[in-house]
Amino acid sequence: MGKPLIGEILLEDGIITQEQLNNVLEIQKIEGGFVGTILVHQNIISDQTLIKYLAIQAEKWLPDI
């Protein structure tokens, strides 16, 4: 299993829709940047939500001890 992507985690939790994620991924292809940052700039999520979900993502990346 690969490392979870922030967009997938947000989608899984119902914070964003598949359509929103697809649109952000298109913007990312054209302009570059991070999915989380684009979501904030598009006013889809707040800074606080991004920070919260980056922490969740980091926890999922840690190896099981």
What torsion, rounded to 10 degrees, do the Cα atoms 40, 44, 48, 54 define?
-70
Which position has the token pair 């939500």?
49
- CA nearest neighbour of 10 among 40, 50, 37: 50
Place of tokens 């926890």: 59
Q: Report the distance separating Cα 43 and Cα 25, nearest Å.
A: 15
- Is it the case that residue 65 has pLDDT exceeding 80? no
Each residue of 36-53: pLDDT tens digit?
999 999 999 999 999 999
Cβ atoms of 11 and 35 closer than 8 Å: no
Domain borders along the chain are 6-61
pLDDT, one tens digit per residue, over 2-26 is 789 999 999 999 999 999 999 999 9
